[in-house]
């Protein structure tokens, strides 16, 4: 009986958080996010960060929930916004929520600092590379769509792209990384010539065909960003006047995320 009451060795005590942490918390957080249940997503992210405070992906995911919540509040996520290049490029000032802005940039910094620390010791750590790519990609979105700093956002996009390319070099099957490379191809293929002259993405030619192939790979194989790749494919199909294809993508998304009112609205409009 006395032996049963002895304290656990120190190495076991330090291992307990990893043993008890739920490995699917972030999967469930993204599920809530795609259903536009942002409070539910934040609750799951908070639990993951509490369980694994040194994991940069928890902070990148928190930044994702914050930026998409803000894009929804500002009504930027509607398909019409992404179909109108003038609306995307216009400099009309929006009113970002200051608390959300501070929380977003804090979360991206936490993700980047933790990821950089891991990569100093393990340069090929796939989770850290993905966390950095995601954090910089979200910074791109916030700067471009909320703060209207489009040219500045392209430098953030290049950084996100570089981490994604490193990740694919390490693991060619890492589906989420292909969303970033596909988006880089699509962005570069849509830029005016004089902008392309100054903006260069590594191993990227601006081929919309390659962009769609990468996005489809991400849609099929992405653990966290697969659904977002499907959303982008629907938008790309609409931009190319391929309504039946866009309708198919949206139909699948509505089936998988029935609580998302925006997806339902966009599908009804196409019908």
Look up the pTM and report it: 0.84
pLDDT in tens, 174-223: 999 999 998 878 776 665 544 444 455 666 666 788 889 999 999 999 99
Separation of CA 201 from chain center: 19
- Of the chain, the percentage scoring pLDDT greater than 90 comes to 63
pLDDT in tens, 92-150: 667 889 999 999 999 999 999 999 999 999 999 999 999 999 999 999 999 988 998 87
CA diameter of the chain = 79
Give the count of beta carbons closer than 10 Å to the beta carbon of residue 18: 10
Q: Tell which residue, 84, 96, 215, has the closest CA to residue 147.
A: 96
Q: Is the pLDDT of residue 161 over 50?
A: yes
Q: Is the pLDDT of residue 21 over 70?
A: no
Distances (CA, A) of 82 to 204, 232, 240: 22, 10, 12
Question: In the structure, what pLDDT confidence band is assigned to residue 36 with cuts at 50, 70 and 90?
Answer: very high
Lowest mean pLDDT among 1-10, 69-78, 110-119: 1-10
Give the domain ranges of the chain. Answer: 23-270
Q: Is the pLDDT of residue 45 over 90?
A: yes
| Mean pLDDT value of segment 5-16 | 41
Q: Is the pLDDT of residue 78 over 80?
A: no
Beta carbons of 192 and 176 less than 8 angstroms apart: no
| Mean pLDDT value of segment 235-243 | 90
* 3-class secondary structure, 183: helix
**Class of residue 207 by CB neighbours under 10 A (exposed 0-12, middle 13-18, buried 19+):** middle
- Of 203 and 25, the one with more pLDDT: 25
Q: Is the pLDDT of residue 172 over 70?
A: yes
Query: Per CATH, the architecture of 23-270 is what?
Result: Alpha Horseshoe (1.25)
């Amino acid at each position: 009986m006395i032996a049963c009451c002895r304290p656990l060795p120190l190495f076991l005590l330090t291992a307990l958080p990893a043993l008890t942490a739920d490995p699917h918390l972030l999967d469930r957080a993204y599920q809530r996010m795609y259903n536009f249940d942002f409070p539910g997503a934040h609750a799951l992210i908070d639990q993951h960060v509490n369980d694994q405070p040194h994991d940069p992906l928890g902070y990148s995911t928190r930044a994702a929930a914050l930026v998409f919540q803000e894009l929804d509040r500002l009504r930027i996520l509607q398909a019409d916004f992404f179909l109108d290049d003038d609306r995307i490029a216009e400099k009309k000032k929006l009113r970002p929520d200051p608390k959300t802005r501070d929380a977003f940039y804090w979360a991206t910094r936490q993700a980047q600092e933790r990821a950089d620390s891991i990569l100093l010791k393990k340069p090929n750590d796939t989770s850290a590379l993905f966390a950095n790519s995601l954090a910089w990609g979200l910074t791109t979105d916030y700067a471009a769509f909320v703060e209207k700093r489009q040219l500045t956002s392209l430098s953030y996009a290049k950084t996100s792209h570089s981490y994604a390319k490193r990740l694919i070099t390490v693991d060619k099957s890492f589906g989420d990384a292909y969303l970033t490379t596909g988006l880089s191809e699509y962005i570069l293929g849509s830029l005016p010539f004089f902008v392309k002259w100054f903006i260069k993405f590594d191993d990227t030619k601006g081929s919309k065909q390659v962009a769609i192939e990468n996005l489809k790979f991400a849609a099929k194989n992405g653990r966290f960003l697969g659904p977002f790749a499907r959303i982008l494919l629907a938008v790309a199909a609409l931009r190319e006047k391929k309504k039946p294809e866009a309708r198919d993508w949206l139909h699948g998304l509505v089936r998988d995320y029935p609580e998302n009112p925006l997806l339902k609205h966009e599908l009804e409009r196409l019908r």
